[in-house]
């Protein structure tokens, strides 16, 4: 199971796409109607889709997996009673699978048979997405649901977040204890720490300072720099998230405390709490499909 892409709807999608290519460092991956696709250097056909819309919202966050994993997922989603529907992707790479709505409206799409593309060169291109984090009214319950309904695993719990993995990367998603449901941020995996630092420099050229960072997190130990994108959401340059073994023991909030005055390993930078919070309110979840029965193969045929 791999996190692949996020699909957003927003006003002025073209301008947002231009920011992501010209300044953030992504490569264009074509447009289909009013939807713009942006890619990184890795094999995924795109990482971000931006569809023109009067309102800003999250259409889906897409994971790719094997056909076998998809079948397991269909059964656990149906058993959990979550709204879901079979889906065929019209986005680059195609593929088919399901889209699921979690308890607080988070829309996760799982595809199999989605095609990859040849990697491209570019030291300032993000390689891929490394995590998409959501705000939750009840992050603990959502973390539990991700384990039960999706087969994900909670990696760590802190005072602020429940970190969740779907492979050996410490987290591909997380649920922030925010008191409301929305997109918290989108993190792009950069090739190395230099690529993160050059990214900060590119944004500094545009008079954009990090809303938080550079720094190094506790859980996952990844390097980060968060920015508030001109088109609304919080986006992050990140690199070097920890790999964890299958039997990784989840930490509890009391295992992840900081010395007075610190909220990351380096302590280099201030955090714009108010600015980040306002940006996190902008992209809510919106389901534009009706739940349908999933075409679950019987155990005997599987
Ligand atoms: Fe992050």
Question: pLDDT tens digit string along 245-275?
Answer: 999 999 999 999 999 999 999 999 999 999 9
Is a pLDDT exceeding 70 seen at residue 42? yes
The CA-to-CA distance between both ends of the chain, in Å, stands at 19
Rg of the chain (C-alpha set): 18
How far does residue 129's CA lie from ligand 1's centre (Å)? 10
State in Å: Cα 82 to ligand 1 middle.
27
Q: Give the CA count within 13 Å in the CB-facing half-sphere of 276.
A: 20
Quote the percentage of the chain above a pLDDT of 70: 98
- Burial grade of 298 (CB within 10 A; 0-12, 13-18, 19 or more): exposed
Looking at the domain that runs over 128-284, which CATH code has it been given?
3.10.180.10
- The H-or-E segment that residue 275 falls in is helix 273-280
Q: What pLDDT band is residue 296 in, cutting at 50, 70 and 90?
A: confident
> 297 pLDDT band (50/70/90 cuts)?
confident
Q: Residue 38: its pLDDT value, please?
A: 98
Tokens of residue 133, six digits: 């984090």
Q: What are phi and psi of 204, to 5 degrees?
A: -60, -35
pLDDT (mean) for 190-208: 98
> Cα of 300 to ligand 1 centre, how many Å?
42
Per the CB < 8 A criterion, the answer to whether 15 and 231 are in contact is yes
Distance between Cα 290 and ligand 1 center (Å): 31
Q: How far is the CA of 237 from the centre of ligand 1 (A)?
A: 8
Give me the pLDDT at residue 273, please: 97
What's the pLDDT score for residue 268?
Answer: 94
Q: Measured between alpha carbons, how far is 256 from 162 in angstroms, rounded to an integer?
A: 12
Q: How far is CA 253 from CA 10, 96, 158, 250, 277, in A?
A: 35, 38, 4, 10, 21
Q: How far is the CA of 185 from the centre of ligand 1 (A)?
A: 7
pLDDT at residue 85 is higher than 80: yes
Rounded Cα distance between 107 and 100, Å, is 6
For residue 236, the CA-to-ligand 1 centroid distance in Å is 6
Ligand 1: distance of its center to the CA of 74 in Å? 28
Q: For residue 123, how far is its CA from the centre of ligand 1 (angstroms)?
A: 21
**Per-residue pLDDT reduced to its tens digit, 200-255:** 999 999 999 999 999 999 999 999 999 999 999 999 999 999 999 999 999 999 99
pLDDT of residue 295: 85
Q: What percentage of residues in the chain have a pLDDT greater than 90?
A: 97
**Contact between residue 131 and residue 165 where contact means Cβ atoms under 8 Å apart:** no
Domain spans of the chain, in order of start: 2-112, 128-284
* Dihedral pair phi/psi, residue 111, rounded to 5°: -120, 145
Query: 95 C-alpha to center of ligand 1: Å?
Result: 27
d(CA 284, ligand 1 centre) in Å? 18
Q: How far is the CA of 240 from the centre of ligand 1 (A)?
A: 12
CA 222–ligand 1 middle distance (angstroms): 8
Asked if pLDDT for residue 301 goes beyond 70, the answer is: no
* CATH fold for domain 2-112: 2,3-Dihydroxybiphenyl 1,2-Dioxygenase; domain 1 (3.10.180)
Task: List % helix, strand, coil for the chain (3-state, nearest 5).
Answer: 20, 35, 45
CA of 99 to the centre of ligand 1 (A): 24
- The mean pLDDT of the chain is 97
Judged against a pLDDT cut of 80, whether residue 300 lies above it is answered with no
The phi and psi torsions of 253 (rounded to 5 degrees) equal -50, -35
CA of residue 113 to ligand 1 center, whole Å: 28
Return the pLDDT at 299.
62
Q: What mean pLDDT do residues 157-176 have?
A: 98
Identify whether the C-beta of residue 134 lies closer than 8 Å to the C-beta of residue 171: no
What is the distance in A from the centroid of ligand 1 to the CA of 264?
12
Give the mean pLDDT of 125-149.
98
What phi and psi, each to the nearest 5 degrees, are found at residue 169? -75, 135
Tell me how far the alpha carbon of residue 163 lies from the centroid of ligand 1, in angstroms.
10
Token pair, residue 18, equals 């231009």
* pLDDT for the residue numbered 241: 95
pLDDT of 302 strictly over 70: no
pLDDT-based confidence at residue 166 (cuts at 50, 70, 90): very high
Q: Do domains 2-112 and 128-284 have the same CATH topology?
A: yes
pLDDT for 272: 98
Q: How does DSSP classify residue 22?
A: I
Distance CA 63, CA 79 (A): 20
- Nearest CA to 148 among 211, 207, 72, 213? 72
The stretch 95-117 carries a mean pLDDT of: 98
H helix runs in 6-57, sequence order: 13-19
Q: How far is the CA of 257 from the centre of ligand 1 (A)?
A: 18
């Amino acid at each position: 199971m791999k996190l692949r892409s996020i699909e957003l709807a927003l006003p002025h999608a073209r301008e947002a796409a231009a920011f992501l290519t010209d300044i953030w460092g992504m490569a264009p991956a074509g447009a289909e109607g009013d939807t713009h696709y942006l890619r990184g250097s890795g094999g995924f056909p795109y990482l971000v889709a931006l569809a023109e819309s009067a309102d800003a919202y999250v259409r889906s966050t897409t994971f790719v997996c094997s056909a076998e994993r998809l079948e397991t997922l269909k059964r656990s989603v149906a058993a959990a009673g979550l709204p879901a529907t079979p889906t065929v992707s019209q986005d680059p790479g195609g593929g088919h699978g399901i889209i699921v709505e979690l308890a607080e409206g988070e829309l996760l799409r799982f595809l199999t048979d989605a095609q990859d593309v040849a990697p491209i060169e570019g030291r300032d291109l993000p390689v891929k997405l490394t995590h998409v984090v959501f705000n939750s009214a009840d992050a603990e319950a959502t973390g539990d649901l991700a384990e039960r309904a999706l087969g994900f695993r909670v990696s760590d719990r802190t005072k602020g977040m429940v970190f969740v993995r779907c492979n050996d990367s410490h987290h591909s998603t997380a649920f922030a204890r925010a008191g409301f449901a929305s997109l918290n941020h989108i993190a792009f995996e950069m090739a190395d720490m230099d690529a993160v630092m050059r990214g900060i420099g590119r944004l500094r050229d545009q008079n954009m300072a990090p809303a938080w960072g550079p720094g190094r997190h506790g859980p996952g130990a990844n390097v980060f720099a968060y920015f508030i994108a001109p088109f609304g959401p919080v986006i992050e340059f990140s690199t070097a998230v920890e790999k964890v073994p299958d039997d990784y023991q989840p930490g509890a909030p009391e295992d992840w405390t900081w010395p007075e005055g610190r909220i990351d390993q380096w302590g280099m930078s201030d955090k714009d709490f108010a600015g980040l919070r306002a940006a996190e309110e902008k992209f809510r979840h919106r389901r534009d499909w009706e739940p349908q029965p999933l075409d679950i193969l019987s155990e005997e045929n599987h």
